[in-house]
Amino acid sequence: MSVVKSSPSHPASLIEIKDVHFAYDERPILRGLSLSVRKGEVLAVMGGSGSGKTTLLGLIGGRILPNKGKILVDGQNVPKLDRAALYALRTRFGMLFQFGALFTDLSVFDNVAFPYREQTNLPESVIRDLVLLKLQAVGLRGAAGLMPSQLSGGMARRVALARAVALDPMLMLYDEPFTGLDPISTGIVGRLIRRLNDAFGLTSLVVTHDLDASLKIADRVVVLAEGKVYRDLTPDDVRTTSDAFVRQFADGLPDGPVPFHYPAPPLVEQLLGQPGTGQASAGRDGGDTP
C-alpha cells in the first residue's frame, strides 16, 4: 500500500503535526505522521481499528507523549509544555467522549454547569443563563432537570456536547461521537457538530468510523494507514475515488487490501493435521490418546 503525504501546511492552521512517531511498548502505531488542521474546519479522521485515531487525540491533548516529532496547537509544542502551560491550553479544548461521560449523579443542568463552576468565578445567576443557552443550542433546555439515567443515548450525547462547548473552546475533539446512536440521533448530533463549529468559530477534529455521517459534515476526510496519512480527501473525493483501500473502507467490503483472513497455513493441511500446521497436529501428537 503506497502512502501519500497530507496536504501542505495552511497559513491558518490551528494544529500542525510534524513527523510524529509513537509506539505502545514495542508496537508502533504512528510512523512519521504529518497533518495540518485548519482553523474553522471540521476534519474527519478515519481508518481501520488500531490505525492510531484515538492515539492522535491523546497526543494532541498531551495525555501521551510522542517518541519523536512535533505537535503544535495554536503555536505551542504540546510535548514540551510544563504542567501549568498544558493545563492552561487544555482549558481551550472541548472534548466529546465516545459515550458522553456524563456525571451520573448530577442533573443535566449541573453537568453543563460543571465547567463554569470549576473554571470560572461567575455568579450562579450568570451560570444559570449560560447553561440554559447552551442547552437551548442542543435542543434540550426542557431537559435541564433530568438525570442522565432518564436520557436516551442521543440526548445524553447532546448534553455532553453542550458541556463540551460551555467555555467556548477554540478546538473541539470528538472521539467516535456517533457510536451506538440510531439514524435520527446520528443525524442530529452530526448537524450539531457542524452548526456549533460554524456558529462559535470552532475547529473540530472528529475521529469516527461512521463514513456516511462524516461526509455530511466534514470539510476534509483524512484516512490513516500504516501509521501515516494515507489519503487527505474532500468528501466528494471519498465518494468518487477508485482507490482500493478507501473503497474497501467506504463500502464496508470484507476483503481487499485489508484481508478478511488472518495469515494461516492452507486449510486442507491443517484439517489433515500435517506436521507444523498448528493446533490439529498439536492435538494429534500431544493429546491423551495412548
Q: Residues 169-179: pLDDT tens digits?
A: 999 999 888 88
| pTM of full prediction above 0.85 | no
CATH classification code of 38-66+77-253: 3.40.50.300
The residue that leads in pLDDT, 147 or 243, is 147
Q: Band of the pLDDT at 10, cuts 50, 70, 90?
A: very low
pLDDT tens figures, 12-30: 889 999 999 998 887 888 8
Q: Band of the pLDDT at 5, cuts 50, 70, 90?
A: very low
From the list 93, 27, 100, 102, the residue with the least C-alpha distance to 62 is 93
Q: What percent of the chain lies above the pLDDT cut of 90?
A: 42
pLDDT tens figures, 74-88: 989 999 999 999 999
Mean pLDDT of 123-128: 94
- Give the residue extent of every domain in the chain: 38-66+77-253
pLDDT tens figures, 49-63: 777 888 899 999 989
How high is the pLDDT of residue 263? 80
How high is the pLDDT of residue 99? 67
Q: Whole-angstrom Cα distance, residue 160 to residue 96?
A: 6
How high is the pLDDT of residue 25? 81
Q: Whole-angstrom Cα distance, residue 30 to residue 90?
A: 23
Q: Band of the pLDDT at 228, cuts 50, 70, 90?
A: confident
